[in-house]
Amino acid sequence: MELVVVDIGGTHARFAIATVEADGAIALSEPETLHTEDHASFQTAWEDFRQRQGGSLPDAVSMAIAGPVSDDIIRFTNNPWIIRPPLVKSKLGVQRYTIVNDFAAVAHAVARAPDDQFLHLAGPEQPLGSEGTVTVLGPGTGLGVAHLWRTGEGYRVQATEGGHIDFAPLDSIEDAILARLRRRHRRVSVERVVSGPAIVDIYQTLAAMERRTVPEYDDVEIWTRGMQGDDSLAAAAVDRFCLSLGSVAGDMALAQGGFAGVVIAGGLGYRIRDTLPASGFAERFRAKGRFAGLMAEIPVKLIVHPQPGLYGAAAAFVAEHGDAA
């Protein structure tokens, strides 16, 4: 079986052709990445991808959506596209479709990916639990959060909007970051601190604390300078980001009961894969007072599959329609 899989975020829409074998194995073609700002709608992006594929596509599609999924109308959290599920078949010319939240798709990928697709970050160096809840989160344009519940016979995925819970600072630097953000936002969510664009406010806060005047770099420039080590202040901002990510990941595990494991996902998580183990991420993840011992027993991983959203979209389609759909 072949189907089109799509991972739609705030900045990019990634398309690929997925092949599902009789034994359930999933293989992906080389993905095509389109910029959401270059297309007026998802349909025009679909038509662009179809043209790139020679004018025809399989008659099934699975979409991973960065935002809440509903039966009537889907509005994206960080881009202006709208999808109306009742019109998907007629607008795209398909017979079957699946639509899931983007981090629900990533959770499907976590459930099905082999152990060699995970990098160990913290806790005991052992596989994710075969039973219980696994928390999945990842910073990108926003902060995606989901979880999956495993039993001996299968698994179930639940998408959440955990990225929009309140940010809780733990030290004076995070107090200063919160104060800066509160000048613009009456309520500051964790997504304002733990996402790709958030590095700008972290960087500017650190500069203000040192009474430095720094250029108005965008987030891409700060991440690049910080990861390359060309700018010590940018490197400090990256380290601070890792601390906050550890705190939030630990909070999500406590809230969801993610004691079978925690998985960091997303392109930004993969980009900082070498930085996270040497940062204060693990210490902050464990720093939950009376529950520090419990947190230390949770395996924390980074999924290193190059396209977990696309892979997970295919897995979600199989979960809904079956391998032989």
**DSSP per position, 89-115:** HHHHT-SEEEEEEHHHHHHHHHHHS-G
Burial zone of 69 (CB within 10 Å; 0-12 exposed, 13-18 middle, 19+ buried): middle
The answer to the question of whether 6 is labelled as a binding residue is yes
Question: What pTM was estimated for this model as a whole?
Answer: 0.88
Q: What is the CATH number of domain 162-303?
A: 3.40.367.20
For the stretch 119-133, pLDDT in tens is: 999 999 999 999 999
Q: Is there a binding annotation on residue 11?
A: yes
- Per-residue pLDDT reduced to its tens digit, 300-322: 999 999 899 999 999 999 999 97
- Return the residue matching tokens 């899931």: 100
Say which amino acid occupies 185.
H
pLDDT at 324 over 70: no
List the domain boundaries for the chain. 2-102+309-321, 162-303
Q: Please tell me whether 166 is known to bind a ligand.
A: no
238 assigned ligand-binding residue: no
Is residue 123 annotated as involved in ligand binding? no
- CATH 3.30.420.40 assigned to domain 2-102+309-321? The reply is yes
205 is in an annotated binding site: no
What is the distance in angstroms between the CA of the first residue and the CA of the last residue of the chain? 7
CB 106, CB 148: distance < 8 Å: no
Instruction: List pLDDT tens digits, range 41-63.
Output: 999 999 999 999 999 999 999 99
